[in-house]
Structure formats: C-alpha cells, structure tokens
C-alpha cells in the first residue's frame, strides 16, 4: 500500500510538472517575434510579429507571411534604410521576394502598434523595389502612407483590403503587376500608374477617396477590366486620350473622368 501511494504521488508530481512546462511554453510561443533591420536569409512570419523598425529583405532572400498572421508595426520616424524614399516612417522594403499567403478566412493584417498623435499615417507601407516574383494576397493594410508601392517589378496583388491610407497602390518605373479583386477605400488617392507602368486592373473596388480613384500618367497604359470606381472626387484622371475604359464602371464620383494635358489631341504637343 505504501509503495502504491508513493508511486501515485510521483505520478501526480510528474503530470503537474509537465502541465506547468506546457503552460510556460505556450506563453513563450505567444510572445510576438520582433523584426527590424536587414535580412539576407529566408524568413517565415506567422502568428503575431512586430516590425520594430524598417525591415529590408535583400535580393536573394524571401519573406513568407502565413495566413492569419498579424504584423504589429511600431510607428517611428527617421528610420530610413535608403535615402531615395521620401517617407521617414517605418517600412517593409523588399528587394528579394515577398509571399503574403493570406486567405479570405485568415487574412494577414498589418496593424499600427501604437497611435501617433497628430499623424494621419502610422507607417510607410510595403515597397517592392525591383523585387523578384512576389504576391500579396488577402492582406489588410490600414493607415499607411502608401499601402503597396511597386518599383520596376510585377507582383500579384489580389484580394486585399486597403483603407484609410494616403495612397492605396502606386505602380511606377515600368511595373506591370496584376491587381485583382482588391478593395481600396477611404484614402486620399486610390491607384496610380506612373513612369511607363502597365498593370492589369480587374475587379477592383476603388471608392470614397478625397482625390483621384485612378490616375494614369502620359507614359502608362493600364488595362482597366470591370473595376468599380465610385464615390471619389475624380473617378479616373488620365493623360492618354485613347486609353480604353468602361464608362459605366466609373460612376457616382464628383467628376467621373478628367482628361489631363493635351496628349493625344491632333496638332498639339503633350
């Protein structure tokens, strides 16, 4: 009888110790991993992570962000990795490859960790600078200066919710991304095509901006395919007079279409 009681006491102690260890382990796993600086190796983000400063993904590296990940962005000024960007806010700058694998049920969320008094925009956003093959799928991006900027690259940008950003998506310097089924709303401007960029824009909802819903400069030729552009100050602001678009998809803006400059008019210089 004494031996059985002793074994029972030892067993209870062992189980209790395991439970305690598991509890401590769970608490450790729930702590967000902190990232800031330059990364030349592949990274995988999941659960909750914190961007405590600028994050730069170098040319030969890949950042993968798994479904349901929450990225807490710590607002900060004077953190720039490179001087060519105007913003002094925290940014995710990718020169390698970016794979954001959100889903409709489990989007990847970028959230400002702390409010900045007097600042409309808490962080710079995602910049793909001559990046390799990349995709941004089912992400939620709020309060960024520019939610997604592509520079000389052509990622897939699909199913994202972009709201309360200064600019939603900017494509520049011969970027040709596929921009599909995104909602861009409640910002200063929606989607911009600059510097010979020819994105494919299909099924996007670009609504309720203080300025342009879509802006196209003289050297860019986006393909506009069944987008909804409404509730903006200007629905579509374009330089090319011969750019095809569906006027029925551009409605209920203060001004639906504004042609800029004189490009495409016979006998006049652009």
What is the token pair recorded at 56? 């730069």
- Inside any domain, residue 267: no
Residues 7 and 68 in one domain: no
- When divided into structural domains, the chain yields a total of 2
Which CATH number characterizes residue 40's domain?
A: 2.160.20
Residues 1 and 83 in one domain: no
Residues 231 and 150 in one domain: yes
Q: Which of 224, 125, 217 lies closest to 167 in space, CA to CA?
A: 125
What is the token pair recorded at 201? 């824009």
Task: Kindly indicate the confidence band of residue 18, based on its pLDDT and cuts at 50, 70 and 90.
Answer: very low
Residues 93 and 13 in one domain: no
Q: Specify the range with the lowest mean pLDDT, choosing from 120-124, 196-200, 210-214, 259-263.
A: 259-263
Residues 7 and 64 in one domain: no
Task: Kindly indicate the confidence band of residue 52, based on its pLDDT and cuts at 50, 70 and 90.
Answer: very high
- Inside any domain, residue 264: no
Residue 19 belongs to what domain range? 1-31
Residues 62 and 1 in one domain: no
Q: Write the DSSP symbol of residue 144.
A: B
CB atoms closer than 10 angstroms to residue 162: 29
For residue 125, the Cα-to-chain-centroid distance in whole angstroms is 6
Residues 21 and 42 in one domain: no
What is the token pair recorded at 219? 């050297």
In the predicted model, is pLDDT for residue 240 greater than 70? yes
Residues 127 and 23 in one domain: no
- Inside any domain, residue 14: yes
Check residue 21 and give its pLDDT. Answer: 44
- Inside any domain, residue 270: no
Residues 121 and 184 in one domain: yes
Regarding predicted confidence, which is higher, 1 or 141?
141
Give this prediction's pTM. Answer: 0.84
What is the full DSSP assignment across 173-184?
SS---EEES-EE
In the predicted model, is pLDDT for residue 212 greater than 80? yes
Helix (H) or strand (E) run with residue 112 in it:
strand 108-112
Residues 81 and 38 in one domain: yes
Arithmetic mean of pLDDT, 195-223: 98
Residues 61 and 158 in one domain: yes
Check residue 6 and give its pLDDT. Answer: 44
- Inside any domain, residue 266: no
Q: Backbone phi, then psi, for 53, in 5-degree steps?
A: 180, -175
pLDDT over 70, % of the chain = 80
- Inside any domain, residue 15: yes
In the predicted model, is pLDDT for residue 148 greater than 70? yes
Residues 210 and 113 in one domain: yes
């Amino acid at each position: 009888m004494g031996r059985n009681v002793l074994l029972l006491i030892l067993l209870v102690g062992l189980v209790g110790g395991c439970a305690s260890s598991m509890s401590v382990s769970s608490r450790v796993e729930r702590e967000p991993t902190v990232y800031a600086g330059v990364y030349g190796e592949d990274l995988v983000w999941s659960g909750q992570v914190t961007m405590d400063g600028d994050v730069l993904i170098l040319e030969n590296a890949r950042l993968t962000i798994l479904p349901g990940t929450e990225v807490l962005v710590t607002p900060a000024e004077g953190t720039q990795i490179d001087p060519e960007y105007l913003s002094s806010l925290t940014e995710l700058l990718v020169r390698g490859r970016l794979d954001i694998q959100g889903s409709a049920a489990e989007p990847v969320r970028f959230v400002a960790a702390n409010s900045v008094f007097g600042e409309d925009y808490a962080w710079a956003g995602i910049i793909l600078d001559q990046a390799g093959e990349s995709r941004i799928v089912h992400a939620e991006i709020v309060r960024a200066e520019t939610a997604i900027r592509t520079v000389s690259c052509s990622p897939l940008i699909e199913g994202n919710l972009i709201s309360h950003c200064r600019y939603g998506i900017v494509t520049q310097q011969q970027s040709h991304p596929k921009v599909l089924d995104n909602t861009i709303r409640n910002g200063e401007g929606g989607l911009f095509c600059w510097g010979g960029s020819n994105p494919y824009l299909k099924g996007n909802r670009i609504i309720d901006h203080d300025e342009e819903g879509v802006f196209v400069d003289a050297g860019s030729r986006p393909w506009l395919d069944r987008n909804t552009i409404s509730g903006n100050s200007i629905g579509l602001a374009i330089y090319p007079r011969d750019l095809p678009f569906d006027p029925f998809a551009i409605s209920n803006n203060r001004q639906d279409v504004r042609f800029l400059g004189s490009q495409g008019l016979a006998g006049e210089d652009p």
